[in-house]
With several copies, the nearest count.
Chain A
Amino acid sequence: MQFAETSEQTLVAETARGLFADFAATLRETIAGADGFDRAEWMRAVGEMGFGGIAVPEALGGAGLGPVELALVAIESGTALWPSPFVPSIATAIPLLIATGLTEAVPALASGERIATILFAGDAAFTREGDGWRVQVEGLAPFGQAADLLLVVGATRLAVVSTFGAEPRLSLDLTRPLAAVSVDGMADAAVADAGPAIADALDRARVMLAAECLGAAEAALARTVDYAKQRVQFGRAIGSFQALKHRMADMMIATEAARSAVLYAATAAAEGDAGFAEAAAIAHFTAIETLQHCARDQIQLHGGIGFTWEHDAHLFFRRAQGAATLLGTPAASRARLARLIGLDVEAA
Chain B
Amino acid sequence: MRLGFTPEQERFRAEVADWLETQLSGRFKPLRNLKSQSAMPEERRDWERAMAADGWSVIGWPKAYGGRDASLAEQVIFAEEYARAGAPGRMSHIGVELLGPTLIAFASEEQKARFLPGIASGDDYWAQGYSEPNAGSDLGSLRTRAVLDGDEWVIDGQKIWTSLARHADWIFVLARTEPGSRGSKGLSFLLVPLKQPGITLRPIRQMNGEAEFNETFFDGARTAKENVVGGVGNGWAVAMGLLATERGVSTLGQQMGFIADYDAIVAAARANGAIDDPAIRDRLARAYAGLKIMRATALRILSAEQLPRAALTQKVHWASWYRDLGELAMDVAGQTGEVALPGAETMPRMADLFLSTRAATIYGGTNQIQRNIIAERALGLPREPKG
Contacts and interface: CB of A to CB of B under 8 A. Distances in A.
Task: Please tell me whether chains A and B touch each other in their complex, using a CB distance cut-off of 8 A.
Answer: yes
Interface of A: 1-6, 9, 68, 140, 167, 169-173, 178, 180, 221, 225, 228-229, 232-237, 239-246, 248-250, 252-253, 256-257, 259-261, 263-264, 266-268, 270-271, 273, 278-279, 281-282, 285-286, 296, 299-300, 303-304, 306-311, 313-314, 317-318, 321-322, 325-326, 329, 331, 334-335, 337-338, 341, 343-344, 346-348
B282 A334 contact: yes
Contact of A263 (B296, B358, B359): B296
Given A4-B1, A264-B296, A338-B282, A178 B335 contact: yes
A1 B279 contact: no
B374 A252 contact: yes
Contacts of A263: 1, 296, 300
B368 A246 contact: yes
A304 B293 contact: no
B138 A234 contact: yes
Given A225-B380, A253-B374, A303-B362, A261 B292 contact: yes
Contacts, number: 267
A240 B381 contact: yes
A240 B384 contact: yes
Given A235-B387, A256-B309, A343 B344 contact: no
Interface residues of B, number: 92
B344 A170 contact: yes
B339 A172 contact: yes
A237 B160 CA distance: 21
Contacts of B335: 140, 178, 325-326
A333 B2 CA distance: 25
Nearest to A67: B1
Contact of A240 (B286, B354, B358, B382): B382
A169 B340 contact: yes
Given A169-B339, A256-B313, A237 B282 contact: no
Contacts of A338: 281-282, 284-285
B355 A308 contact: no
B1 A253 contact: no
Given A3-B1, A261-B292, A278-B292, A252 B379 contact: yes
A220 B9 CA distance: 40
Given A2-B303, A309-B209, A321-B354, A140 B381 contact: no
Contacts of B313: 249, 252-253, 256-257
Nearest to B338: A172
A343 B3 CA distance: 26
Contact of A1 (B72, B161, B344, B385): B72
Given A3-B3, A249-B375, A267-B2, A240 B383 contact: yes
B372 interface: yes
B205 A1 contact: no
Q: Most chain-B CB neighbours within 10 Å: which of A68, A169, A252, A268?
A: A252
B255 to A, nearest CB: 13
Nearest to A237: B382
Nearest to A261: B293
Given A1-B299, A170-B347, A245-B375, A304 B362 contact: yes
Contact of B371 (A249, A311, A348): A249
Contacts of B136: 233, 303-304
Interface string B261-283: 00000110010000100010110
A270 B362 contact: no
B3 A268 contact: yes
Contacts of A311: 207
List 10 tightest A-B contacts by C-beta distance, closest first: A236-B387, A314-B207, A245-B375, A325-B335, A309-B205, A170-B340, A249-B371, A260-B296, A169-B339, A249-B374
A286 B3 contact: no
Among A237, A318, A334, find the residue whose CB has the most chain B CB atoms closer than 10 A. Answer: A334
20 contacts: A3-B3, A4-B300, A169-B340, A169-B342, A170-B344, A172-B338, A229-B381, A239-B382, A240-B385, A241-B368, A245-B372, A252-B379, A253-B316, A261-B296, A263-B1, A263-B300, A266-B1, A308-B207, A318-B355, A346-B270
